[in-house]
Amino acid sequence: MAEQALSGLKIVEYGNFVSAPYCTKLMADLGAEVIKIEEPGSGDESRRHGPFLNDEPHPEKSGLFLYLNTNKLGITLDVKTKTGQKILKQLLKDADVLVENNPPRQMADLGLDYASLKQINPRLIVTSITPYGQTGPYKDYKGYALNTAGLGGQTMRTGEPQRAPLAPPLSQSHYQSGAMGAAATMSAIFARSSDGEGQHVDISEAEVWATIHLGHGVHLGVFEGRKSIRSGHRTISVYPWCILPCKDGYMCLIAIQGFQWKRFLEAMGTPEWMADPRFRDRISVALEYADEMDAMVEALIIGKTKDELFEICRRDQITFAPVRSIEEVANDPHFKERGYFVEVDRPNTGTLKYPGAPYKLSQTPWQLNHPAPLLGEHNEEIYCGRLGYSREDLVKLRKGGII
């Protein structure tokens, strides 16, 4: 097999659902060897989450699991048993990285806290992705993606002013912290190459929101008493910065520069209301006349389809874009030309399309070498082939519910 960017890196994932699995997926797709540990019998929670192929709930047919676990080896191991802990430690002796997303207290109770793991392998990097992090008063609090987006501040930015604020969709907090975990883990690997020491990488989901996403504007609250503004389908800045309906869906209209807005109005045949002096200053339009303006702009575009409008925008270099549905993106010629969606063949599902690479590396392309593992698919390979257990041992471990 061709050398990939992360070939040779050995990673163990003791994770669940989205954050840790997305972190190790990014690494596995660039060539790292990832051994994923799942609970015997039930497996990763994402196997029970769906969406399921043909709406048939089945642990080997969950789209979420299939997407997040490409290129990994899968073993089952009950880490809550003494034998399970012993086996995990055996695996970690020879690993570069452990990625996990368990509650900090649980890791300590299992004797798997960083201080203990460091004794086994001082070069080991342990990346922990948790809702609130390894320190601080909330470290043992429970948190799902919804909660960490709330604490992190992302939620207060979306929604209508008088209604509940909206958290970002589909476990966004987990995806963000998983990707951050991958970047942080690579940093730790570079640190190790100079001093030979592993370390503990602490990713707090809430903090990823509160720092790199939203920490840059906190001074506005502190010094100017500002609050996040939820303004529904638009942003109150300059007009237009909004999403409005057209014939077959929605258009995203945004023009920071005045000439972009002017070009659009010209393309629409320069409506009479443009002469109204109230509409000359686009900041006051955003502040005072946005509803009125929305209605008039909507009237201009409601008879046209997204594609018709987009064609005009592209022709005239106008910065507006159609709000593509998931179906439209899945069939979009641009994504096709770039080969973004890839076909994956796997037992239980046959060939399906998956979202592919978020980046293209010229020398070491992103690759799908192996679909997500079946539950316990690589038990024999890892336990017998790597750790030296006999097939009889394997039977005993299985009977004991350990694998």
Partner 1 sequence: MANYPLSSYRVVDFSWVWAGPLLGMILADMGAEVIKVETNKRLDSARLTPGRSTVGPETDFVFHSINRNKLGITVDMSDPRGAVLISELIQISDVALDNFSPQGLRKLGLEYERLSKINPQLVMISLPSAGQYGSLSNIVTYAPSLGALCGYSSLIGYPGERVLGEQTPYLDVTSAIHGAFAVLSALYYRERTGKGQYIDMAQIEVGASVIGEAFMEYFMNGRVLGTMGNRSPTMAPHNNYPCLGEDRWVSIAVDTEEEWRSLCDAMGNPPWVNQKRFSDKFNRQRNIEELDRLVSAWTINLSNCEVMDILQKAGVAAAPCLDLMERFSDPHYAERGTHLQVEHPATGIDIIAGIPFKLSGTPGEVRRHAPMLGQHNDYVFRELLGRSESEIARLVEEKVIF
Interatomic CA distance for residues 222 and 192, integer angstroms: 38
- The interface with partner 1 within residues 256-275 (CB under 8 A) comprises 256
For the bound state, the minimum distance from the C-beta of residue 207 to partner 1, rounded and expressed in Å, comes to: 5
Local structure of 52: helix, strand or coil: strand
x/- mask, partner 1, residues 187-216, rule CB under 8 A, reads xxxxx-xxx-xxxxxxxx-xxx-xxxxxxx
Q: Of 5-13, 98-106, 372-380, 394-402, which part binds partner 1 (CB under 8 A)?
A: 5-13
Residues of span 24-83 touching partner 1 by CB under 8 A: 26-27, 30, 49-55, 61, 63-64, 66-68
d(CA 235, CA 219): 20
> Does the footprint of partner 1 cover residue 130 (CB under 8 A)?
no
Query: Which range binds partner 1 by CB under 8 A, 90-98, 103-111, 178-186, 371-379?
Result: 178-186
Query: Using the rule CB under 8 A, is 280 a contact of partner 1?
Result: no
Given 10, 123, 233, 262, the residue binding partner 1 (CB under 8 A): 233
Q: How many Å apart are CA 258 and CA 285, to the nearest integer?
A: 13
353-392 positions binding partner 1, by CB under 8 A: 353-364
335 binds partner 1 (CB under 8 A): yes
3-state secondary structure of 351: strand
Q: At a CB cut-off of 8 Å and minimum separation 6, what does 61 contact? A: 52, 53, 54, 348, 349
Q: Are the C-beta atoms of 311 and 254 separated by less than 8 Å?
A: no
Give the residue with the Cβ less far from partner 1, 75 or 208.
208
Residues 13 and 39: their CA atoms lie apart, in Å, by 12
Q: Taking the complex as a whole, how short is the minimal distance between the CB of residue 393 and partner 1, in angstroms?
A: 34
Stretch that binds partner 1, among 79-87, 220-228, 266-274, 369-377 (CB under 8 A): 220-228
Residue 199 or 379: which CB sits closer to partner 1?
A: 199
Helix segments in 114-196, DSSP class H: 114-120, 145-152, 172-195
CA nearest neighbour of 251 among 312, 301, 311:
301
